[in-house]
Amino acid sequence: GAGVSQSPSNKVTEKGKDVELRCDPISGHTALYWYRQSLGQGLEFLIYFQGNSAPDKSGLPSDRFSAERTGGSVSTLTIQRTQQEDSAVYLCASSLGLAGGPYEQYFGPGTRLTVT
Amino acid sequence: KNQVEQSPQSLIILEGKNCTLQCNYTVSPFSNLRWYKQDTGRGPVSLTIMTFSENTKSNGRYTATLDADTKQSSLHITASQLSDSASYICVVSGAGGGNKLTFGTGTQLKVEL
């Protein structure tokens, strides 16, 4: 089927507003990852979900960031009270298993978030 | 701290020429190393995945090498094409699985006529 999709592709928001970013993984992929890519920086891990296990939230930069994955499929990344330093491209990826193993990670096109 | 360093930071070559991108890492213990291609405005796309026991892996005009002893990898691009213009990212996974992926900042390659 289709690859990983993300929406919106671009989001401009005012400082202090909340935003929700959506990720639709490849059907059947049990692992789902969120990353952040700032200009000139490498990808920064935020959170991952694996099956029914508790998500690994160790990469979330502050308690303003949270994510959910409903029904083992679609995931939403929420940023509350956005700050200018949150401006970045947010990438979602999914894989058949944990990416620490030999499983391919398939990335979505990303959501470009700009906080003004 | 686990790190992945890539060089050069950017590179410009003429169409049809070959080039080699470098990746040095300090991640230990090591599980696998990946090379991704990221076109502007797109998500990364996997080129190769190599485990500890693999020394080389090819994907079309892309050939990756790995020396786990020196913790170095290279990505060789043969007969470059304009469409090869992209950022090439080296990613290393530590043993233990899960989220233990460390990303390099990438080499920005531009192929010109």
At B26-84, the pLDDT tens digits run 988 888 899 999 999 899 999 999 988 899 999 999 999 999 999 999 999 999 999 99
Least CB–CB distance from B43: residue in A59, A102, A108: A108
Facing A99 at nearest CB: one of B45, B89, B93: B93
Q: Is the pLDDT of residue B97 over 60?
A: no
pLDDT for position B99? 57
| Strand ranges for chain A from DSSP E | 5-7, 10-13, 19-24, 31-37, 44-50, 65-69, 75-79, 88-95, 106-107, 111-115
Comparing alpha-carbon positions, the chain B residue that sits nearest to A6 is B43
Residues 1-40 of B with CB under 8 A from A: 4, 31-32, 34
**Pick from B31, B43, B103: which is nearest to A100 by CB?**
B31
Tens digits of residue pLDDT in A56-115: 898 999 999 999 998 879 999 999 999 999 999 999 999 998 766 778 889 999 999 999
Residue A46, pLDDT score: 94
Of A30, A37, A29, nearest to A51 (Cα)?
A30
Rounded to a whole number of angstroms, the distance from the CA of B91 to the nearest CA of chain A is 10
Euclidean distance between CA atoms A62 and A79, whole angstroms:
9
In sequence order, the β-bridge partners of residue A17 are none
Tell me what pLDDT residue B44 has: 94
Interface test with A, best of B36, B54, B57, B99 (most A CBs within 10 A): B99
CA dist., res. A50 & res. A29, Å (int): 9
Which residues, other chains included, contact A62 with Cβ-Cβ below 8 Å and sequence gap of 6+? none
| Eight-class DSSP state of B70 | T
Above 80 in pLDDT, residue A34? Answer: yes
Evaluate if residue B18 carries a pLDDT over 90. Answer: yes
User: Chain A contact for B103, CB < 8 A?
Assistant: yes
Give the confidence band of A54 by pLDDT, cuts at 50, 70, 90: confident
AA identity, residue A79: I
> What's the distance, Cα to Cα, between the start and end of chain B in Å?
41
Element at B90 (helix H, strand E)? strand B86-94
The tokens for A94 are: 């999914």
3-state secondary structure of A90: strand
Higher-pLDDT residue of A98 and B7 is B7
pLDDT at A99: 67
Nearest CA-CA partner of B64 in B92, B96, B42:
B92
* Mean pLDDT within B1-22: 94
